[in-house]
Structure 1
Amino acid sequence: MNIAIVTGAGSGLGRFLAAGLAEDGLHVIAADVDAAAAAETARLTGGTAVRCDVTSRAEAEALIARAVEAGGPHVLINNAGGWTPGVQFPDAEPEAWGRTLDLNLRAPMHLTQLALAPMARLGGGAIVNIASSAGSEETPYGSPEYGAAKAGLIRFTTALGAPDRIGGTRVTCLVPNWIGLDRAHAELAAMSPEERAQAAPLIPPSKVVAAALGLLRAGAGGTVLELVGA
């Protein structure tokens, strides 16, 4: 059975992605900094839970080692990300906005680097980086550091190029707009009617999962797929 790692799998889009991969026949290693949440995703998908802070070099290495022990990894979904509400750049301290860069850019780069060698030994794998429209738009954004990190993730993907440059693994990137998760629905409900009318349509999580599975099956190395609401 093929082994897939999903980071940030304990909740939100990560749990939807883990479920979609499991339904597609993969054994999912659900990695999350919240051990209980990862365990619940593993229970729901019949997979394996790993408590992992992806910004920790040692824990990232242990995550990939766990997948190698299981016979993989064949698939890596770099989904873990986000930013903590509150003070953002330029008012936040460098340590605070640096953590956002670490989570959204350095961590997926590191996990990709760690996964390439074992994937090459298996004949090549597939990696999907989950970015955000915050990294591709040119309008002001509430967290500049998050937008910059996601822009970097997009360019990181395209810079890797064709699979034959990196041992046969296809690295692609999914760039969704506003996803219809519980938090997004709550934010939309709290808006005024005027604000709601101007808001981007929410993308059903199932559409994001289908797009990710499509990239895993057919995406060429360096492919970037932007996803917007209906």
Structure 2
Amino acid sequence: MTAGIAIVTGGGAGLGREIALGLARSGHGVVIADTDPAAAQACAQSIAALGVPARAVDGDIRIPAEAERVVRTAAEMGGPGVLVNNAGGWTPERQYPVAAPAEWAATIALNLTAPMLLSQLVLEPMRDLGGGAIINIASTAGIASDPYESPEYGAAKAGLVRFTTSSAGLADSHRVRMMCVVPDWIGLDRARAQWAAMSPDRQAATRPLIPPEDIVTVVLDLVRDGKPGTVVEMLGGERPRVRPQRSS
């Protein structure tokens, strides 16, 4: 008997994989959605070894038909109870304003409109099952006020935070709690390599990396009993803090 089916986008590697495994250890079956089929399948196999169901779905969640396939897979397993909108990022080649409109629009689609689409798709299935939880993984790039290397990424993550707080009413209309985690630099392989390449002075001036397991803990806590519209900011070297909710 599982605790319900969780969808994790970008779940094949990095933070997504850690979140998927954390949900599995807490009893959730998991749908791992990723554009890397080998990584998604490897994660699904690791989860299946824990004794809970897992399915890998290879697809680009920016495409409506593929997002629908992700949700349909969860329905085949019993229906979605949790959605973690984790997939994100930006390509390093060209950013706004040098990037072509289609390029920077693709970044916004991955980091904002795809989570909005998937959230919309799971609302009715979650309500039919008695409710659910949606966790959006944003970034401190979306809450800072200094210049940022990818303006479109920063804007999309800012939008994801506000999307979360704007959607708190889903708890009343659909029994779905939407919440958001806003981490700083995460201690994954690439970040650790970049950290190691820094000078001691640069390291001293930079917040420490956040252990991925700390983010997983916050995600699981929110899934369990987080309040609708909650935004948890995570800065390296500090305890997670809940952003105060303000009415307009």
TM-score past 0.5 threshold: yes
1:127 CA displacement: 0.6
Equivalenced residue count is 230
Match of 1:45 in 2: 47
Q: Given the alignment of the two structures, is residue 112 of structure 1 paired with residue 114 of structure 2, yes or no?
A: no
C-alpha separation between the residues in 1 aligned to 2:42 and 2:171? 37
Match of 1:123 in 2: 130
- The partner residue of 2:8 within 6, 9, 28 is 6
Is the contact between residue 116 and residue 166 of structure 1 (CA under 8 Å) also seen in structure 2?
Answer: no
AA partner of residue 82 (structure 1): G
1:68 CA displacement: 1.0
Match of 1:205 in 2: 212
C-alpha separation between the residues in 2 aligned to 1:156 and 1:88? 23
TM-score (norm 1): 0.97
C-alpha separation between the residues in 1 aligned to 2:26 and 2:235? 24
Task: Percent identity, please.
Answer: 55
Is the contact between residue 82 and residue 103 of structure 1 (CA under 8 Å) also seen in structure 2?
Answer: yes
1:41 CA displacement: 0.5
C-alpha separation between the residues in 2 aligned to 1:164 and 1:89? 36
Which deviates the most, 192-201 or 175-184? 192-201
State the 4+ residue runs in structure 1 displaced beyond 3 angstroms: 162-166
1:140 CA displacement: 1.1
- The partner residue of 1:97 within 104, 110, 129 is 104
- The partner residue of 1:146 within 140, 153, 158 is 153
How big is the alpha-carbon RMSD for the aligned residues of Structure 1 and Structure 2? 1.0
C-alpha separation between the residues in 2 aligned to 1:95 and 1:71? 37
Q: Given the alignment of the two structures, is residue 74 of structure 1 paired with residue 81 of structure 2, yes or no?
A: yes
- Give the 3-state SS of the residue equivalent to 1:191 in structure 2: coil
1:69 CA displacement: 1.5
Unaligned runs of 5+ in 1: none
AA partner of residue 228 (structure 2): G
1:86 CA displacement: 2.1
Q: Given the alignment of the two structures, is residue 64 of structure 1 paired with residue 66 of structure 2, yes or no?
A: no
AA partner of residue 112 (structure 1): S
Q: Given the alignment of the two structures, is residue 20 of structure 1 paired with residue 26 of structure 2, yes or no?
A: no
1:163 CA displacement: 3.7
Match of 1:155 in 2: 162
1:81 CA displacement: 0.4
- Give the 3-state SS of the residue equivalent to 2:80 in structure 1: coil
AA partner of residue 221 (structure 2): G
Match of 1:36 in 2: 38
Q: CA 1:86 to 1:194, structure 2 compared with 1: closer, same or farther past 3 Å?
A: farther
1:194 CA displacement: 2.1
Unaligned runs of 5+ in 2: 49-53, 238-248
TM-score (norm 2): 0.91
C-alpha separation between the residues in 2 aligned to 1:136 and 1:43? 36
C-alpha separation between the residues in 2 aligned to 1:11 and 1:214? 21
Match of 1:229 in 2: 236
Deviations 1:59-83 (A, max 9, x none): 0011101111211100000000000
- Give the 3-state SS of the residue equivalent to 1:186 in structure 2: helix
